[in-house]
């Protein structure tokens, strides 16, 4: 065998070895991305998801929720509202649809018909205008709760608009919303959908140099009061609902932030 032939064979072996190494390396990176994808979706950072008292968490593309079969609605709906999500695009309102991903069967929208209550969004359609699919996804019945029109179109709407302001100012926030669900609430419809007496919204800004939280607890009635008058500690909402809102945060940081009802660091 000539020296030239030996060099050609060695060169071929080296090229095969390099190609195999690159292929194996890329496969490992792909597996790592898949594993990470199990904990973080494109439009919802699951790191900030609360605990579920019902053991029925449903993940949609633009938000996640914990469904309460007892009350026929979500005990919480959580989503990340990024600055890039904010849009003035107006999509046509779709019809409400039953959420087929709820294993115990979500309540039908007909429960609200002639009840005197709005189908109040927990993840607002206005927070999901970055695509038609994301917008339309908010019209699943697992994302609504009975709200009087004056509350839904009044102070609750003001809080939703302020949340969008903070998402723009702080380059994104994480939002958790729901009604305070407990025994003895008034119900509507054949499926007995509970009507909460109070609604809450918990917001965390983890993008600024200093992590901060803000919680609101509102009676189910419209009000002309400024929003800051409804600020409470996250601990207070947790005590009312039995939900642990940010269990993945470092304990010392979580305890300090959740005990505070200060809105000093938030721009009203």
The SS3 of residue 102 is coil
Give the separation between CA 232 and CA 200, rounded to whole angstroms: 10
Q: Is 121 a catalytic residue?
A: yes
HSE at residue 133, side-chain half, CA atoms within 13 A, is: 4
Give the count of beta carbons closer than 10 Å to the beta carbon of residue 62: 25
Contact between 128 and 160 (Cβ < 8 Å): no
Give the separation between CA 170 and CA 205, rounded to whole angstroms: 7
The SS3 of residue 231 is strand
Q: Kindly name the residue from 85, 121, 135, 220 that is annotated as catalytic.
A: 121
How far are the Cα atoms of 253, 254, 261 from residue 248, in angstroms, in the given order? 10, 9, 20
Q: What is the DSSP letter of 2?
A: -
Give the separation between CA 19 and CA 120, rounded to whole angstroms: 56
Residues in the chain, overall count = 268
The residues annotated as belonging to the active site are 121
């Amino acid at each position: 065998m000539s020296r030239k032939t030996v060099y050609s064979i060695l060169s071929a072996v080296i090229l095969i070895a390099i190609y195999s190494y690159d292929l194996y390396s890329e496969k490992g990176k792909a597996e790592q991305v898949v594993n990470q994808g199990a904990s973080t979706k494109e439009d919802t950072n699951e790191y900030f998801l609360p605990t579920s008292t019902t053991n029925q968490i449903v993940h949609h593309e633009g938000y996640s929720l914990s469904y309460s079969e007892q009350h026929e609605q979500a005990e919480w709906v959580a989503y990340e509202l990024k600055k890039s999500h904010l849009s003035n695009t107006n999509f046509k309102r779709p019809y409400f649809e039953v959420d087929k991903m709820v294993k115990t069967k979500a309540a039908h929208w007909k429960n609200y018909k002639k009840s005197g209550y709005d189908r109040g969004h927990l993840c607002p359609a206005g927070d999901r205008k970055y695509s038609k699919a994301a917008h339309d996804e908010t019209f699943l019945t697992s994302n609504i709760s009975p709200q009087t029109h004056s509350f839904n179109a009044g102070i609750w709407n003001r809080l939703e608009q302020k949340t969008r302001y903070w998402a723009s100012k702080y380059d994104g926030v994480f939002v958790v919303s729901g009604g305070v669900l407990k025994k003895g609430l008034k119900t509507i419809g054949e499926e007995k959908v509970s009507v909460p007496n109070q609604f809450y919204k918990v917001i965390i800004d983890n993008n600024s140099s200093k992590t901060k939280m803000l919680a609101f607890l509102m009676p189910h009635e419209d009000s002309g009061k400024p929003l800051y008058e409804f600020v409470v500690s996250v601990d207070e909402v947790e005590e009312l609902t039995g939900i642990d809102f940010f269990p993945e945060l470092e304990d010392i940081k979580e305890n300090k932030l959740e005990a505070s009802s200060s809105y000093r660091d938030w721009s009203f």
